[in-house]
Amino acid sequence: MDHTSLKVFIAVADTRSFSRAAELMFITQPAVSKRIKALEEFLDTRLIDRSGHTALLTAQGAELYKRARIILSEIEDAKKAIDNLSTNIAGTLSMGTSHHIGLHRLPVLLQQYIKSYPDVRPQISFIGSEEVYSDVVQGSLDLGIVTLPPNDTPDIERVSLWNDPLEFVIGRDHLLAKKSDVSLEDLVDITAILPAKNTFTRSLVEDIFVEEGLSIDINIETNYLETIKKMVSIGLGWSVLPRTMLDPSVCRIPIDYKIKRSLGVVYSKNRTLSNAARAMLELLKQHR
């Protein structure tokens, strides 16, 4: 069974389209069809229903799909284990991180890394911490540099790197900015600008209000902290931001609640780290 054909099969299954799968795999649509046909001939069964405009998995295709990622992951894991027998630090390093960490924490470290290991080609995905966790578990990312959840996650090894305390903030021209003592109740009637639902940071904030029996009015959601900061600065509502981002454009709200989050690196407990990933992991640990 050709592992490239499995990758093509997964792309067709995920996109439900031969043409979109071709775009993702950077091959032609006839090449996609040829790969799928070869896979079906090898397994002696139809995997994809081509009768309509949408490519849908047959029952046999759905069964293969459940196992295909595991097969590819095992192949990649074996390759890493073999490569690690060499002391060379080369190849591809796939990492996922947030825009905030990528902007404020990683540049100096990445610069040092590529100078030390010029034969490594970093591939960086800027996505949410929750998506990074999923991709690390599935094996599509070697490392994730993310906001760590409050509790341990099965199959994930985590290393805390940086404490990242958050502060309640409001626009400097807002009436609340002139108060010396602010309670959670004072924020309830003011629009909140927060990251999207189910993000670790959003949960930290909402839990504080839930514990006090309060609900908050969230009219603006975005995972881009720079955008949140700008929206707060022009008076659209309150939010929480990392202390490292505060500047004269926003005002810290003097509220007696501390929100702490930790930023760190995560990787799978069940997969072999490449030499390139191990080198990055050690560099991160040295700079925590």
The CATH number of residue 256's host domain is: 3.40.190.10
269 and 158 assigned to the same domain: yes
C-alpha 138/C-alpha 1 separation (Å) is 20
Whether 204 and 246 share a structural domain: yes
pLDDT digits (tens, 9 = 90+) for 178-198: 888 889 999 998 999 999 888
Per the domain annotation, does 79 fall within a domain?
Answer: no
| Per-residue pLDDT tens over the stretch 155-176 | 889 999 999 999 999 999 998 8
* 87 compared with 202, residue with greater pLDDT: 202
Entry pTM: 0.70
Alpha helix stretches (DSSP H) within the chain = 3-15, 18-25, 29-43, 59-83, 99-104, 107-116, 129-138, 184-188, 200-211, 225-233, 275-286
With H, G, I as helix, E, B as strand and everything else as coil, classify residue 239. strand
Residues 6+ apart with CB under 8 A from 275: 83, 84, 86, 87, 88, 89, 90, 91
Answer with the residue of higher pLDDT: 129 or 216: 216
Percent of the chain with pLDDT over 90: 49
pLDDT band at 131; cut points 50, 70, 90: confident
- 115 in any annotated domain: yes
**What's residue 84's pLDDT?**
64
Instruction: Specify the number of domains making up the chain.
Output: 3
| CATH number for 55 | 1.10.10.10
Any domain includes 176: yes
Mean pLDDT of 218-240: 94
Q: Tokens at residue 1, please?
A: 């069974």
Domain edge (last residue) among 73, 101, 124: 73
125 and 233 within one domain = no
Same structural domain for residues 232 and 268? no
The pLDDT of 7-15, averaged and rounded, is 90
Indicate whether 12 and 147 sit together in one domain. Answer: no
78 in a structural domain: no
Residue 148 and residue 277 in one domain: yes
Domain that holds residue 207: 166-260
Q: Are 66 and 95 within one domain? A: no
Confidence of residue 154 (pLDDT cuts 50, 70, 90): confident
Do 223 and 158 lie in one domain? The reply is: no
User: Do 134 and 253 fall into the same domain?
Assistant: no
Report pLDDT for 85: 65
| Structure letter (DSSP) for residue 274 | P
Q: From CA 185, how far away is CA 188, in angstroms rounded?
A: 5
Do 151 and 276 sit in the same domain of this protein? yes
Residues 106 and 221 in one domain: no
Whether residue 122 is predicted with pLDDT greater than 90 in this model: the reply is yes
Question: Is residue 57 domain-shared with residue 102, that is, in the same domain?
Answer: no
Give tens-digit pLDDT for 43-91: 999 999 877 778 889 999 999 998 888 888 778 777 777 766 667 888 8
